[in-house]
Amino acid sequence: MLAGVLLGVALATVGCATGGASGGKVRIKGSTMCSAHGGTYSTATKSCTYTASTKSLREACQAQQGSWDDASEYCSIDPM
């Protein structure tokens, strides 16, 4: 559940960072997305196994190679 919420926050942040309607898409490798949220990726089953954990938004942002700003509460991710 928490992983899904964090993924939603990350994807929404990426959409905002790219202007939302820029026409371009940001691709995130499955294994990167999985490990960024504390999961273990399986190439054989193309699945991610999660354990229950709590992460700060700073940790979730940094796991996506982003930069967290406490004042604005935004995660800046370079889509390129």
pLDDT above 70: residue 13: no
What residue has token string 């940094």?
A: 62
Q: What's residue 1's pLDDT?
A: 53
State the pLDDT at residue 38.
Answer: 81
Confidence of residue 51 (pLDDT cuts 50, 70, 90): confident
Where do runs of H (alpha helix) occur along the chain?
2-17, 30-36, 57-63
Output the CA–CA distances (angstroms, integers) from residue 59 to 10, 43, 48, 63, in the order listed.
11, 25, 19, 6
What is the reported pLDDT for 16? Answer: 55
- Reported as a single tens digit per residue, the pLDDT across 16-44 is 555 555 568 778 888 888 888 788 999 99
Residue boundaries of the structural domains of the chain: 2-15+26-76
